Amino acid sequence: MKRFAFILILFVVMTPLSSCSEDGDGTNNEQPCGFLDPTNQLVFRFPQEDLTFILSGGPTGELSRVEATKAVLQKYYDLNVDNADAEDINALLETMSEVELCSCGGVSPVLVTFERAALDFGIETKLDNLKNEDGGDADVEGDLNFIFGIGSNEIPNSTMNFNLSGQGADGFESDSQNVIAILDTGIDLAGQYPDQSIIYNGAANSYINDSLPCEEVYDGLGWNFVDGNDNFFDDHQGIGHGTLVTKTLTNELELLTESSEPIDYSILPLKVFDSQGVGSYWNIVCAMAYINEIQLATSQDGSRGAIKLINASFGATSNPGEITSFGVMKSYIDDLSDSALFVASAGNCGEDTDASVSHLPSGYTSENIVAVGGYETNGNTIDKDPFSNFGTISIDVAAPFTLNEVEVNLLNSQSDSSQGAIVVSGTSFSAPLVSARLFWMMVERPDLSPLEIKSAFFTDFTSNNTNLDTYFAGGRVYAPKQK
C-alpha cells in the first residue's frame, strides 16, 4: 500500500443563526458558524407507563395517539388555569397532528407535531410555568425540536477521496463489550477498516435485539436515526465527518497501545446527521435513548454496561442560559453518569460559552460530560486556538485544534487504495483525542467508576498551562500521541 501526504484543511462549524470569522485558508472571510432552525415539533420524555398508555390507545384501546398524548399531558401540566401561558398551550394542543416514536428502541421519547408555523424557543418556558404537582415524581420535559448542521467539508482534489464503498456491517462485527458510541454522520467501514472486526455485535447479546424492536432485524447494533434503518454508512458530502472523527479516535487508541497488547474495543456508529451534515435534536435524543436501553440490557450481569464512552463531535449555540431549556437530552446523559462518559466538542466560533452564548451539548452541567476545546502550538508556546470556543466553567480541557497527520485510506481515480496523512482542524477532532485516552483508561481500570476515571485523567494526563487558565478550566491541556 502506497503512502503519501494529502493536505486537507477541514473546519467543522456548528453554531446557530450567527456568523464568525473563519480563517482556515489564510484569508479572513465571514462564514456562517452553522445554523439552528426551530420546527413545529416538541420532544417529550414520558415515564414508561405513559408511553404504554399512548401506544395502547388508553385503557379502552380506542384513543388515537394524538388523543392519548393529550390525556398524558393533562397529568403533568395545569392546562385549565386562567392565564396567557395556558391559553397559548391549549391553542397549540388543538393543532396537534401527529405523534411519533424513535425508529429503533423500546423505551422511546415522543415527537409531537403541530399544524402551525415553527414554534418559538420560549415554548419550553411556558410549559415549565404550567407544570403541576400532581404528576408524581416524574420530571417530564418538553423541548422544542430544532434542525442544525455540520459545516460543509471541502475536497481540494476530487480525484483523491476516501474509499467510499457503501458496504454494510456484515463481516465487521466485534464481540467486544468495551464499546465506544459515536454520534455523527456514520462510518465508512470498508474504506477505512478493511478486514477489521470493529462494529459492536448485537448478535452476541440476543436479548438486546429482543428488546429493541426496529424496522429490520440485523446482527450489528449501529443504527441510522436519519432514515430509520440499519444503514449507518457515512454518505456525508465530501469526506465524511463521522468517518474522520472515528479514524482520529481509533488512530489515537492504536498509538496509545503500540508498545503493549492491542486494546479490546468495538464501535457503535449512530448516524444522526445526513449526507449534507444536517440533523435534528430529535435524532440525537433518539440515539441517546437507544444508548441508555443498550446500557440497561448489558448491565444485567451486574456490570456497568457495555458502552463505556459516547463521543459527540457536534454542537449548537443558543443564547446564554438557554441550554437549560433542552432537558430531555440532558436527562439521558445524566442517566449514564454511573456507567459512561460523554465527551463533547466545544465549538469553533471563538465564543465565550460561560457568558456570551451557551453551547449544546458541551455546556450541559452533567457530571459525566467532558467538554473539549482546542489549542494551537507556536514553537514552544501553547495558546488557545482563535476559533475554539472558550470558558473556564463550561470547557474542561483543551486538545490540539489542528492535526497534521491523521492516517487514512485514500482512493485515487484508478481506484487504487493508498494510505495518506491528512490535516484536519476543529474541536470535532480535539474531542476524539480525549475520548481515546479516557476510553483506554476505562478499559485498563475497570475497577474505577466513570467519574473516577474523569478525575484521574485530569490529574494524571493533563498539564496546567498558564496561557490557557483564563480560557479553559484549570488551564488543562491534553497532549495526544497523534500529531
Domains of the chain: 2-37+152-477 (3.40.50.200), 39-149 (no CATH)
Q: What pLDDT score does 6 carry?
A: 38
Q: Is there a contact between 83 and 77 (Cβ–Cβ < 8 Å)?
A: no
pTM: 0.89
- Looking at residue 18, its pLDDT comes to 36
pLDDT at 137: 53
Q: What integer pLDDT is reported at residue 412 of this predicted model?
A: 57
Burial class (CB in 10 A: 0-12, 13-18, 19+), 340: buried
Label residues 226-235 b or e (16+ Cβ within 10 Å = b): beebbbbbbb
Supply the DSSP symbol for 391: B
CA-to-CA separations, 302 to 205, 296, 305, in angstroms, rounded: 15, 10, 8
CA distances from 105 to 109, 221, 285, 314, 459 (A): 9, 11, 12, 23, 38
pLDDT attached to residue 121: 77
User: What is the predicted pLDDT for the residue at 169?
Assistant: 57
Cα 8 to the chain's mean position, in Å?
24
Task: Please report the DSSP string for 342-387 in residue order.
Answer: EEEE--SS--BTTTT-EEETTT---TTEEEEEEEEEETTEEEE-TT
**Which H or E element spans position 440?**
helix 427-444
Q: Where are the alpha helices (DSSP H) in 229-326?
A: 241-256, 281-298
Does residue 266 contact residue 205 with C-beta atoms inside 8 Å?
A: no
**Which parts of the chain register pLDDT below 50?**
1-32, 153-167, 203-209, 211, 216-219
User: Bridge-partner residues for 266, per DSSP?
Assistant: 179
- For the record, the C-alpha cell of 61 comes out as 384501546
Q: What angle do CA 130, 133, 136 make, to 5 degrees?
A: 125
Gap between the Cα atoms of 48 and 329, Å rounded: 17
Strands (E), 85-140: 96-101, 110-114
For residue 214, the model assigns a pLDDT of 66
Q: At 252, is the secondary structure helix, strand, or coil?
A: helix
What pLDDT was estimated at residue 252? 95
* Model pLDDT, residue 413: 52
